[in-house]
């Protein structure tokens, strides 16, 4: 875990004092609402449908038990006793009062946390693979470079008023669990001739115009990375469109100018910037890497784990779905589902946060992660402790065995909270989960990612869902479009639109028809939904989805 330096702590204290003053100046009229808006956004404060919303950064999704306990305390003291974990590894509080926000930020600051640059047209919270430092397939831990990028992007004087928001994600493994190809900049740690470097991908994004990122550089050395990033964002700051916010993201800049033109501009800019970086940043990176040293793993018998699997069918089911292979012998990565059937995806109560913090402290080397799929991870748990961990989770309503299954749904807040939404997302996710749970089909269906957005801005990543659902407003009535075959991994793919949308009443049966078609069509139970879709294409699923059209055409 990264430990704040004196510099980091002093910076944060000063920044919070500045924001406290800005809030006062807004209240006394020195700042107009239009002027205050970008300032509050730089500190994570949104104005939503019903109230302000504070979005707190969880840099690269990593936190310790004291930080999780503080998130719980804030939920109790200044909100309604819960928080919402987001697809960008943040936590959102939906009901703060403006005058309380400076106090909330000070409470966060006490445990080295902040809400800086979680909104606004600036470089946002840097995200990373939630299995970082634990995954068996890793080239290198992505968190040290993500922390260096956090420091570089924080309060960067050139980049606080970009044409639009700017998101960076880092993966250190061959499998992409951070959706790096759907980010403004995606970085993949790669090894070339024994040297660690970065593949730099730019111009990915979802939203109104989904685009898969393009490779700008195949290999950038570690010491060249910050000047390269600075060159990219500088070029974007001048070239990105400011006449239309829907065309302002770098994906459009790259699309309109072409990757070759962008590369030439970035190269020219890089030449000017590179001499500024004299290696001090690399010394800082070394110190950060030391902070992320591998924990002292223990050796113990795995007997309790195997015993529980033999004798407790619920534990067996949970361990089948919610565990991932760890790099250390005897250890497992635990995914705690925040997708209990019928509950709001990504929500956790303050008491659940405290339970998870306690488990991390007792069994998990004091580490927790937030995944972009809106679940919580205990990255380092010895298998002998898994029965105890599961028992505690189950008692707190956190023992749902559904990671990667049909009810492990990503859903944006939708019309229940968001001012931009055109339809509800959360109730649709809840209904899908409870419906397939009642049918007892979830485990039979196997790996299937459903992602739901309540408007075309695509916060619910519907373009990269195996089944993506987009909620729109058609003449005042909610209408849900279905996309099929999307994929947010290293094989990233934008889903295909299946056809006309469905009403809120029709969408659950529509999803059921797709799933039933898959069960009929798969070559054998080991062929996943996505594999079957790739083999067969849209047509047979479309036929199942719109049976009446088939009939009238025949």
Q: CA gyration radius for the chain?
A: 23
Task: Using the structure block, give the residue that is written with the tokens 């924080």.
Answer: 154
Which of 160/528 has CB closer to other proteins? 160
CB 235 within 8 A of CB 202: no
Please report how close the Cβ of residue 41 comes to other proteins at its closest, in angstroms: 10
Length of the chain: 554
- Selected binder of other proteins within 27, 110, 238, 293 (CB under 8 A): 238
Question: Binding residue for other proteins (CB under 8 A) from 114, 130, 183, 269?
Answer: 269
Nearest distance in Å: CB 143, other proteins: 18
Q: Which of 110, 136, 264, 268 binds other proteins (CB under 8 A)?
A: 268
User: Taking CB under 8 A as the rule, does residue 272 contact other proteins?
Assistant: yes
Stretch that binds other proteins, among 235-243, 353-361, 462-470, 502-510 (CB under 8 A): 235-243
From candidates 52, 78, 219, 277, binder to other proteins by CB under 8 A? 277
The candidate with the shortest Cα–Cα distance to 454, out of 416, 412, 502, 483, is: 412
Interface mask toward other proteins for 281-300; x: CB under 8 A = x--x----------------
**Site for other proteins (CB under 8 A): how many residues?**
46
Residue number, 6 or 524, with CB nearest to other proteins: 6
| 110 touches other proteins (CB under 8 A) | no
Question: DSSP string spanning 164-209?
Answer: S-B-EEEE-BSS-SS-GGGSSEEEEEEEETTEEEEEEEES-B-TTS
- Residue in the structure block whose two tokens are 């196997």: 446
- Residue 172 Cβ, how far from other proteins at the closest point, in Å? 21
Q: How far is the CB of 245 from other proteins (least distance, A)?
A: 11
Interface residue with other proteins among 87, 171, 234, 324 (CB under 8 A) is 234
CB-count burial class (<10 Å; 0-12, 13-18, 19+) for 113: buried
Q: Is 14 in the site for other proteins (CB under 8 A)?
A: yes
The first and second tokens of residue 320, run together, are 């089948």
Question: Measured from the CB of residue 470, what is the shortest distance to other proteins in angstroms?
Answer: 24
* Residue among 20, 156, 327, 341 that touches other proteins (CB under 8 A): 156
**How many other CB atoms are there within 10 angstroms of residue 252's CB atom?**
22
> Nearest-CA neighbor of 469 among 436, 502, 439, 421?
502
- We find the least distance from the C-beta atom of residue 109 to other proteins, in angstroms, to be 13
**Cα–Cα distance measured from residue 388 to residue 390, given in angstroms and rounded to the nearest whole number:** 5
| Helix H or strand E segment including 517 | helix 507-521
What 3-state DSSP class applies to 135?
Answer: strand
| CA–CA gap between residue 77 and residue 79 (Å, rounded) | 6
Strand 168-171 vs strand 127-128: parallel, antiparallel, or unpaired?
parallel
Number of neighbours of residue 35 by Cβ within 10 angstroms: 12
Is residue 249 a contact point for other proteins (CB under 8 A)? no
Q: Which is nearer to other proteins, 159 or 436 (CB)?
A: 159
Choosing from 99, 242, 474, 549, the residue that interacts with other proteins (CB under 8 A) is 242
Separation between Cα atoms, residue 125 and residue 57, nearest integer Å: 6
Instruction: Tell me which DSSP letter residue 136 carries.
Output: T
Of 87 and 234, which CB lies nearer to other proteins in the complex structure? 234
Q: Does 246 bind other proteins (CB under 8 A)?
A: no
Enumerate residues 337-356 that contact other proteins by CB under 8 A: none
CA distances from 153 to 12, 117, 166, 168, 206 (A): 14, 9, 10, 10, 22
**Which residue's CB is nearer to other proteins, number 231 or number 498?**
231
| Residues in 17-56 at the binding interface with other proteins, rule: CB under 8 A | 18, 21-22, 25, 29-35, 38-39
> Restricting to residues 121-140, which ones interact with other proteins according to CB under 8 A?
121
Do the strands 45-47 and 52-57 form a parallel or antiparallel pair, or are they unpaired? antiparallel
Q: Which is nearer to other proteins, 159 or 502 (CB)?
A: 159
The three-state secondary structure class of 323 is strand
159 contributes a contact to other proteins by CB under 8 A? yes
Q: Does 253 bind other proteins (CB under 8 A)?
A: no
Q: Which residues contact 551 (CB under 8 A, 6 or more apart)?
A: none
| Interaction site with other proteins (CB under 8 A) | 7, 10-11, 14-15, 18, 21-22, 25, 29-35, 38-39, 121, 151-152, 154-162, 226, 234, 237-238, 242, 268-269, 272-273, 276-281, 284
């Amino acid at each position: 875990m990264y430990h704040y330096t004196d510099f980091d702590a002093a910076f944060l204290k000063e920044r919070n004092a500045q924001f406290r003053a800005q809030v006062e100046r807004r209240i006394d009229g020195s700042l107009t609402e239009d002027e205050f808006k970008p300032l509050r956004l730089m500190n994570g404060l949104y104005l939503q449908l019903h109230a302000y919303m504070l979005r707190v950064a969880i840099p690269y999704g990593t936190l310790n038990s004291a930080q999780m306990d503080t998130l719980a305390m804030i939920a109790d003291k200044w909100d309604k006793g819960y928080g919402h974990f987001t697809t960008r590894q943040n936590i959102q509080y939906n009901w703060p009062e403006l005058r309380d926000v400076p106090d909330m930020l000070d409470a966060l600051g006490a445990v080295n946390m902040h809400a800086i640059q979680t909104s606004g047209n600036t470089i946002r919270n840097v995200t990373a693979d939630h299995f970082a430092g634990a995954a068996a397939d890793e080239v290198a831990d992505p968190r040290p470079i993500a922390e260096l990028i956090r420091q570089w992007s924080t309060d960067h004087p050139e980049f606080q008023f970009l044409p639009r928001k700017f998101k960076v994600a880092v993966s250190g493994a061959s499998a992409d669990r951070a959706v790096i190809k759907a980010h403004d900049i995606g970085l993949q740690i790669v090894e070339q001739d024994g040297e660690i470097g970065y593949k730099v991908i730019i111009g990915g994004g979802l939203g109104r115009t989904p685009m898969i990122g393009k490779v700008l550089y195949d290999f950038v050395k570690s010491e060249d990375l910050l000047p390269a990033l600075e060159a990219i964002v500088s070029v974007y700051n001048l070239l990105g469109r400011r006449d239309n916010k829907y065309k302002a993201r770098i994906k459009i800049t790259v699309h309109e100018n072409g990757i070759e033109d962008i590369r030439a501009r970035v190269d020219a800019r890089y030449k000017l910037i590179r001499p500024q970086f004299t290696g001090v940043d690399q010394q800082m990176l070394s110190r950060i890497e030391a902070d992320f040293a591998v924990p002292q793993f223990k050796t113990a018998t795995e007997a309790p784990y195997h015993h529980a699997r033999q004798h407790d069918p619920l534990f067996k089911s949970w361990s089948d779905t919610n565990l991932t292979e760890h790099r250390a012998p005897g250890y497992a990565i635990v995914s705690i589902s925040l997708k209990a059937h019928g509950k709001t995806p990504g929500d956790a109560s303050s008491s659940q946060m405290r339970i998870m913090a306690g488990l991390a402290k007792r069994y998990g080397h004091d580490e927790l992660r937030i995944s972009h799929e809106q679940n919580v991870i205990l990255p380092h748990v010895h298998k002998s402790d898994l029965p105890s961990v599961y028992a505690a989770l189950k008692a707190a309503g956190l023992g749902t065995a559904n990671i990667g299954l049909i009810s492990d749904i990503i859903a944006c807040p939708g019309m229940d909270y968001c001012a931009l939404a055109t339809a509800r997302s959360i109730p649709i996710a809840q209904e899908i989960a409870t419906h397939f749970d009642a049918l007892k089909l979830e485990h039979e269906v196997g790996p299937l990612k459903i992602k739901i957005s309540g408007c075309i801005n695509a916060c619910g990543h519907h373009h990269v869902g195996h089944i993506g659902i987009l909620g729109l407003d058609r003449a005042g009535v909610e209408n849900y479009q279905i996309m099929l075959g999307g994929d947010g991994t290293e094989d990233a793919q934008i889903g295909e639109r299946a056809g006309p949308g469905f009403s809120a009443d029709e969408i659950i049966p529509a999803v059921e028809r797709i799933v039933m078609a898959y069960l009929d069509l798969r070559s054998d139970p080991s062929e996943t939904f996505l594999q079957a879709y790739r083999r067969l294409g849209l047509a047979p699923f479309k036929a199942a989805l719109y049976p009446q059209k088939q009939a009238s055409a025949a």
